[in-house]
Structure 1
Amino acid sequence: MLTRRKLLKGALLSAPAACAYPVLWEPRWLEVTHTRVPVKTAARQPLRILQLTDLHSSWCVPMSLIEDAITQGLANKPDIVCLTGDFITREDDVDVAAYLPRLRRLAQACPTFAVLGNHDSGTVGPLRAGFSSHLFVERLLEDAGIHLLHNRSQAIDIRGQKWRLAGIGDLWSGEAEPELAFHADPENLPTVLLAHNPDSKEVVQRYRWDLMICGHTHGGQVMVPFDGPRYAPVRDKRFVAGLRAWDTRQVYVSRGVGNLYGVRWMCRPEVTLLEVSHG
């Protein structure tokens, strides 16, 4: 018979498990998402993008999680890899010897491009963290063979289809300079824009691009039932996670791989696969 004492005992036994879940389980429970992104441009061939963002190498994001995200992402055979910032959390919490070979795996598998986040850049905005400058992270990416699109663009050819990749500096760090990234587009190519913060869309509004991919929000990181995300450091709360239309264009915000403070709740870390094609 189910008695009051048994109910109380069950509740007491389950409480530690409930408390442990958002710290020990969910932050390491990767979800691989697959999203088709229709764009207005007349691209003849689709572009398969692996997006990884907010790796946040730190005490609360083990290297095994980053390695697992890379392995699962590359298993889907993307055409390119796009890394949208926050490679680290704090400058004194990075094991370069362990991190570098993981990042190098990406560049060895396929062309890999990156932009910097506020934790990488020595932000001057509302959250001061990371390095006093981004020289260390630049060198890390360079040593890994990753192309840094810091306010610049690059044309690529995938199965005979030309695309333009553009990247801008971090918004919070005051380094977003789209006029440099978009200074020339002689072939009017379909364009994928890398930006760490989805609020960056406002500063690139007058430029021509088809899809912007971002991170920064961690998807909200802690989702409170009937209330929404507890952590969403953006002005425009419509762009916290997933694919949304904006004007005639598309914005995708990944929940990211890592986290801050070692907690996720109802917001699993994400390995993002995007297929961009005419639609």
Structure 2
Amino acid sequence: MSGISRRTALRLGAYGLAAALAGSYTVLIERNIVLVNRYQIPLANLPPAFHGFTIAHLTDLHFGKLVSAAFISKLVERTNALRPDLIVCTGDYVHTNNTTAEIDQIWPLLMKLHARQGVFSVLGNHDHSADTARSLYWLERSGQNLRHQCKALERGKERLVFGGAGELWGDQLNIDAAFAASAPGDCRILLAHNPDSVDSPFNTPISLVLSGHTHGGQVVLPFYGPLVLPVENKRYSSGLIDTPKTKLFISRGIGWAIYPVRFNCYPEIAVLELVRPPAS
């Protein structure tokens, strides 16, 4: 009689169970565990008054399918509770294309973010593919808009300048224009959704760029790295990266794209502490 032995059947069953558990973990568990990760960012030209300045960085929320309003509300509460000096958001707040419904739901929640020195935001490619005009309307209404402009935070006579780029795929970057109102010698920090923006042509000296977009790859295999990175420069996955022009920090973000899975790549609220390097 043809067939498989009981031992083989049990082994195949065990493999199937293990695969099912692994799949469930990546979809149902790790994808929903948002870590608070703290990073120290040394900037050579950071004004002394801003040594220890903290920034909570949110990105790629992808509100919509499998990311609920209750989930986002809790995320906002957790971020506020961290009491950072500043909160920055670098885009992809919604998930679905060609709809204003998600935009109109997410922005009233984002407007509940608050920090001692404010909240600055720019848009991502999903915000444009959902509806550019509606996303820009809410960005401006929120009071968080940094797109194509810069704002200076002051402590005494010293200041730290934040600027916002347009989205690389759905907008004009306009990085130089964004910092047109800054002064020579300013320490400048740029919000740009897509980290490939760093490799675009611009002339303004920038000390740090804050980005998202990659989700850290979502699935990161040991000894191999991220399986998929939606960027031209495959060095740009997550964390702090030195580039020829500037330092680049990429957050792993919150939500998902393409597939609703995460493995070895937990979602994160990134808390950045800006510091002056030790004197040599």
TM range (shorter): 0.7 to 0.9
- CA drift at 1:162: 1.3
Identity of aligned residues (%): 32
Which of the pair has more CA radius of gyration?
Answer: 2
Indicate how the Cα distance of structure 1 residues 144 and 107 shifts in structure 2: closer, same or farther if over 3 A, else same: farther
Q: Which amino acid aligns with 1:26?
A: E
* DSSP 3-state at the match of 1:199: helix
Select between 73-82 and 102-111 the one with higher mean Cα deviation.
102-111
> What CA distance in whole angstroms lies between the structure 2 residues aligned with 1:158 and 1:27?
39
- CA drift at 1:27: 1.1
Determine which of 55, 61, 75 is the counterpart of 2:61.
55
For the Cα contact (< 8 Å) 1:66–1:257, is it kept in 2?
Answer: no
Determine which of 225, 242, 245 is the counterpart of 1:245.
242
Structure 1 gaps, min length 5: 122-128
Report the equivalent of 2:130: 130
- CA drift at 1:186: 2.4
**Aligned-pair RMSD on alpha carbons?**
2.4
Q: Does 1:264 align with 2:262?
A: yes
For the Cα contact (< 8 Å) 2:80–2:115, is it kept in 1?
Answer: no
Q: Does 1:86 align with 2:92?
A: yes
- Map 1:23-172 → 2, pairs under 5 A: 23-44=27-48, 45-46=50-51, 47-90=53-96, 91-92=98-99, 94-95=101-102, 98-107=105-114, 110-121=117-128, 129-131=129-131, 134-146=132-144, 148-158=145-155, 161-172=158-169
> What CA distance in whole angstroms lies between the structure 2 residues aligned with 1:92 and 1:31?
30
For the Cα contact (< 8 Å) 1:116–1:169, is it kept in 2?
Answer: yes
- CA drift at 1:176: 0.7
Q: Which amino acid aligns with 2:204?
A: Y
Aligned length: 267
Q: Which amino acid aligns with 1:33?
A: N
Select between 266-275 and 55-64 the one with higher mean Cα deviation.
55-64
Report the equivalent of 1:124: none
TM-score (norm 2): 0.85
- CA drift at 1:120: 1.3
Once the two structures are superposed, residues 7-65 of structure 1 have per-residue CA deviations (whole angstroms, 9 ceiling, x without a partner) of 66654544432221111111111111100100110411222101000111111222233
Select between 261-270 and 89-98 the one with higher mean Cα deviation.
89-98
Select between 265-274 and 226-235 the one with higher mean Cα deviation.
226-235
Structure 2 gaps, min length 5: 1-5
